Amino acid sequence: MKKKQFWFLLAVTGVFLLMNEPYAFSWIIPFPELTITAVVFLLFLFIFLNSIKGVRKVGLPNNIAVALFVTGFVWLFYAIIHADSSYLTRIFLLLITYFLLLILYRTGEVYRFWIVNNRFVLIQTILSTICFVLVGVGLLKPLLVINAFDGSGREFFFWGGCFSKTYIGNLIRPSGFFDEPGALASWAIYGLMLNYAFLKDHLTDKYTPYFAASTLSVAYFIQLAIYLGLKNIKKAYRLIPIVALLFLAIGFINKTKDTEFDLYARTIARFEYDEESGIAGNSRQHSLENAKKVFMQNPIFGVGGKKFSESQEGVSDNPYEILAKDGFVGFVVSYLPLLLVFVVNRRKEVVVALIVITVGYLQRPLHINFVHDLYIWGFLLLAIIDAKERRVSVNKTHPVLQ
């Protein structure tokens, strides 16, 4: 693929991503619905794929192609038994994922695509951190105040370099261009894991862990701690500077308690335990219990996406969400790519990435949007390519093994 073609593909893909959830620009720009943008983008990918010249007409590796087909077939079955068109949207997103990954695989641009994607997320964390600091010292006010579309009366804020839902005193929790800070933190740590296992981009590795901390996401800090612990399990001395920096940060955070820049309330206080309410930062315990009750209504196939979304009680963003929505069968199918990653590639770095990413899915399960599909299936494709390249390398080094 020519350089101009690559960047054109990347630009169109970026526009499609930014127009839909979990990005937040739809709060201020009335974009068409996902069903419309998905059809247009799918058509674009089909035309682009057939216009590329000078590349081998190969398909995706059999294991990922079969897994995509099985997943699509199951969602078609679910659409019928639940009379639920949301599963057709999932199939469209799978088709988009298939064509985009096929284009990248045929042209040998898989690694470059993910490096650029990770750097885009890094840019968002940098801009978010700048806004976080400027608001903290009182030099920045929101450029736009946006009223929630759900009728709740809640306000969202756009700061020029990022969005935020939280604005208390001089403190914000920036979310980059995503709809909430947890989303930015989640995709930052996901990209960091892909980089650790496969990409080895020094900018992502060096800067993302620090700038993503401005989201003040509890889940992010937990995943980052697991990553650093597993990565340095045999060289714990490397963690000494990080632990020292952590103690200095805790000391500073404690001094902000009950001030206009109350970092304490948004960080340390969220880990405090109360016998009646449990851990303060665990805001999803109630939704977990609700989702568990919904799961028990139909443990095999779930209640269906439409019925789940119409629930009058909070049921989302917890380990039981997929089980409640799609049952045990749907749960296995949803996370099939992660299972296959473990099957095809058990190199240490890949296993560490798999563990950290899986922990993230416990509090932020798969949702119906292209970002989720792209990352989880992209993870599998990278694992397959990496395993294949290493086998080829071994065979070249040791011809007797061929």
The predicted-structure confidence for 81-111, as pLDDT tens digits, reads as follows 999 999 999 999 999 999 999 999 999 999 9
Q: Which residues contact 267 (CB under 8 A, 6 or more apart)?
A: 216, 253
Whether the pLDDT of residue 160 is over 60: the answer is yes
Model pLDDT, residue 402: 37
pTM, two decimals, is 0.90
334-367 residue pLDDT tens: 999 999 999 999 999 999 999 999 999 988 898 8
CB 159 within 8 A of CB 174: yes
User: Among residues 252, 265, 254, which one has the least CA distance to residue 166?
Assistant: 265
User: What is the mean predicted confidence (pLDDT) over 286-292?
Assistant: 82
Say how far apart CA 184 and CA 180 lie, in whole Å: 7
Whether the pLDDT of residue 281 is over 70: the answer is no
Residue 399 per-residue DSSP state: G
User: To the nearest whole percent, how much of the chain has pLDDT over 90?
Assistant: 65
CB 41 within 8 A of CB 9: no
For the chain, the average pLDDT equals 88
Instruction: Please report the DSSP string for 188-257 in residue order.
Output: HHHHHHHIIIII--HHHHHHHHHHGGGG--HHHHHHHHHHHHHHTTT-GGGGHHHHHHHHHHHHHHHHTT
User: What is the mean predicted confidence (pLDDT) over 271-275?
Assistant: 50
Whether the pLDDT of residue 74 is over 90: the answer is yes
Model pLDDT, residue 310: 79
Q: How many residues does the chain have?
A: 402
What is the radius of gyration, based on Cα positions, of the chain?
22
Model pLDDT, residue 392: 81
User: Among residues 60, 11, 20, 65, which one has the least CA distance to residue 38?
Assistant: 20
